[in-house]
Amino acid sequence: MLFFRSEEHLERWLQQHGGDRGAVLTLADTWTLSKAWYPDRRHAGWRPRSIEQSQAVLESVGLRDEFWSLAPR
């Protein structure tokens, strides 16, 4: 998961490395996702999530397409 200064820089990098384009998030989107995905694990009540619970977290921030599907095929 890499950081790029702009869409232009991402496109240039993909051309240079021959990589497929994955998902692209703005910093604001990444922050929203981070707040939902990363609870503070210092809390005694923290418990690991099931795949279904993690999928629900992704969906809660609008990440619903196939790229974000956690279930094995």
Partner 1 sequence: MDEPSDSALDASRIFIYSHIADTGAPPTSDEIATQLHITRNAAIALLRTLGARRQLVLNRESGEIWMAGPMSAVPTRFRVHGEQVSWWANCAWDMLGIPASLSISARVETGCACCSERVTIDVDEERGPLSDEGLVHILVPARRWYEDIGFT
Cα–Cα distance measured from residue 10 to residue 56, given in angstroms and rounded to the nearest whole number? 29
Cα–Cα distance measured from residue 27 to residue 24, given in angstroms and rounded to the nearest whole number? 10
DSSP SS3 for 27: helix
Residue 15 beta carbon to partner 1: minimum distance, rounded to whole angstroms: 10
Which x/- pattern over 17-46 shows residues binding partner 1 (rule: CB under 8 A)? --xxxxxxxxxxxxxxxxx-xxxxxxxx-x
Q: Is residue 57 close enough to count as binding partner 1 by CB under 8 A?
A: no
Q: What is the contact surface with partner 1 in residues (CB under 8 A)? A: 1-7, 9-10, 12-13, 16, 19-35, 37-44, 46, 48, 58, 66-73
